[in-house]
Chains A and B, each alone.
Chain A
Amino acid sequence: MPAKNFASTRYSELSEITPETAKDLRVSFTFSVGVNRGQESSPLVVDGTMYVLSPYPNILYALDLTKPGAALKWQYNPKPEAAAQGVACCDVVNRGPAYADGHLFFNTLDGNVVSVEAATGREAWKTKIGNINIGETMTMAPLVARGKVFVGNAGGEFGVRGWIQALDQQTGKVAWKAFNTGPDADVLIGPGFRPFYDSDKGPDLGTKTWPPGAWEQGGGTVWGWLSFDPELNLLYHGTGNPGPWNADQRPGDNKWTSGLFARDPDTGAARWFYQWSPHDLYDWDGINEQILLDMTWNGAPRKVLVRPERNGHVYILDRTTGEVLAAKPFHPITTTTGVDLKTGRLQYIPEKKPEMGKVMRDICPNASGAKDWSPSAYSPRTGLLYLPHANLCMDEEHLQANYIAGTPYLGSETRMKAGPGGHRGVYTAWDVAGERAAWSIKEEFPVWSGTLVTAGDVAFYGTMDGWFKAVNARTGAVVWQFKTGSGIIGQPTTYRAPDGRQHVAILSGVGGWPGVIVSADLDPRDGTGALGFLNAMRDLKEVTTKGGMLYDFALP
């Protein structure tokens, strides 16, 4: 799976590549995925075969690592509907396939979940569960556990109603579906639901914390990362931003958007919920990765869940109850004063609330957040969480949003810009127990790639101007870097190849929300384009071009 394990640590036990040896890394093979759009996916390696998934049209390739040059073994094209590109908010990306029991599972942009036989590339099943006519797409990487494939929808900018579904791993039949807005029966909230905080208790909050009927277009999508704790038998998934962005059109806490659910993976029944950003004002989706760790907290062993969140805080939650143990900022913040640990509630600064017909300046973090989907990694050797993130603020003005099914439901104009310091990206090593940054590397552009860390104490990430970097996981010193053909927004993978060596692979191909200026040829003279990201990325066209190439590296 892209996250390496159910706990989503993205930590590899391989130790051949070290800060000392990394300087000798050489390209071992490359492969063109044939699509020049944003490459957010993660290559997977299973039993001597590498699986690579392209952005729309979501072609899956199998490369035979036992053959010279990693020969193409098969390719599978699900032929998604081209029209789906029109309802993909932030480039036509895909965040990767998942592997389990001889099959690969992935989502297509037009709302299909597919199972493909790993040995042959033959389609085992294909189930359509998303509807592009109401703005639903699917871009997330599935998680497979307990015989089920867990997937969710995207479309929070189109007024969709967010859901997560479990499909039978063998047949593709839907086992359960839970909405993240609406009546308790739809959200699968029953007697077993025990949220930690009072603000999440009470019947049908998924309708009562909205104006009448607004929950039907309320968002709360599931386009990010899932984690699973086999011992507690709990599935963890975040929920996306509420719709529309104009918060005055949806007074109330807007449950269960911009939060985190713990669910029973067998039935979907909700066990607890915590809301990162109640009544979200700034498009702060709550869908980032959750890293499951066992750590000592205030002298006692706790099962925790670590979440670097879009609102600018690294949270530590008790993953059995949903109690917030800590929330510390890792990004300049002008919009909130932190989290009240008694009520668990994020404290907004009322003066920074965007209004209709008025430009609110210097909102930090911006709409894409201190850190968007790009997943972090945790090393038990260093106790550090490696965070690829941004340093961005924005100006915003709210407008009246009209709901027209299948068209954007926003009611907002924004223009984004660099945060304090002028750099737009940061790679931070966060000391989880010490609740502070151990070191950080400033980057010109938002760090939109994922990252991984190894037992060799090396961490890898990429930049939007195309550098693939290896850093010393203890000091942050860059020990090796390679300039790929296009900007990097993908997720690195490291593995032991049939040749016995440790390899590391990354997809190069700029795009995604900040990179769509290049991948879709946008015009930077309009700063509000790409939902305001154009303003912050005007110079990206000067440093990189479109691409879609896999690079694989190894020591000689």
Chain B
Amino acid sequence: MIRTALALVLAVLPAACQREERQARPSPVGGESREEVALVSLSPGSAGPVVATSGKAAQFEGNAYHLSQGKKLFVWFNCNGCHGQGGGGMGPALIDDRWIYGAAIENIVQTIREGRPNGMPSFRGRIPDDQIWELAAYVRAMSGNVPSSAAPARSDTLHPRPAENRTDPSPPVAGGLVPPGGERAQ
């Protein structure tokens, strides 16, 4: 009996010891990954838009360390000044389901790097590339679009809403420049 239990524990142990992989050394400050992403789903032909991404997303999405760093940087780079804790203000809301410039992490990376025409500043050369990825991953966490096991669990703020790991997922809806707003967010 004891032997069986031991065998079971030994069998489970390797899985329990699985830890998140991440590169200890970030990519060079000046470098940036190349993301060929589309802003829309519309493209001539039935295949959809042609995209080619670096694959860097896999390192950042669902990684608790990077999400936690992103949450810290969100305040340090004053993102919260415009976007609040996700409800928005000078900038659009980030906890809702509408994505004006695309919901993929690569889209968000591009939004932070390049800026967007109606007020989003360009942070290229102001924020190291890996930190842009951390911010983008965290922005997806704000609307519940990362694994809850990796999302930050605590907010050192006025607690306007539950922490990210308790945020219900809101599947992205492509927004466009004039979102069909007006109705109260559900």
Contacts and interface: CB of A to CB of B under 8 A. Distances in A.
Contacts of B49: none
B89 A516 contact: yes
B184 A526 contact: no
Contacts of B84: 526, 528-531, 534
Interface of B: 75-78, 80-93, 95-96, 98, 115, 117-121, 126, 156-158, 160-161, 179, 181-185
Nearest to B183: A541
Nearest to B115: A83
Given A82-B118, A84-B119, A518-B182, A525 B92 contact: no
B119 A526 contact: no
A19 B103 CA distance: 56
Nearest to B186: A525
Interface stretch (A86-94, A141-149, A371-379, A500-508): A86-94
Contacts of A86: 82, 90-91, 118-121
Measured as residues with beta carbon below 8 angstroms from the partner, the interface class of chain A is 35 or more
A335 to B, nearest CB: 18
B67 to A, nearest CB: 18
A408 B88 contact: no
B87 A526 contact: yes
A535 B126 CA distance: 32
Nearest to B79: A407
A518 B91 CA distance: 13
Contacts of B121: 83, 86, 406-407
A195 to B, nearest CB: 34
A541 B93 CA distance: 15
B140 to A, nearest CB: 15
Given A83-B118, A534-B89, 8 more contacts: A87-B90, A397-B157, A407-B78, A415-B158, A521-B98, A521-B181, A522-B87, A522-B92
Nearest to B82: A408
Contacts of A415: 158, 160
5 contacts: A402-B76, A409-B78, A521-B181, A523-B87, A524-B87
A399 interface: yes
Contacts of B120: 86
A529 B87 CA distance: 5
B78 to A, nearest CB: 4
Contact of B117 (A83, A409, A410, A413): A83
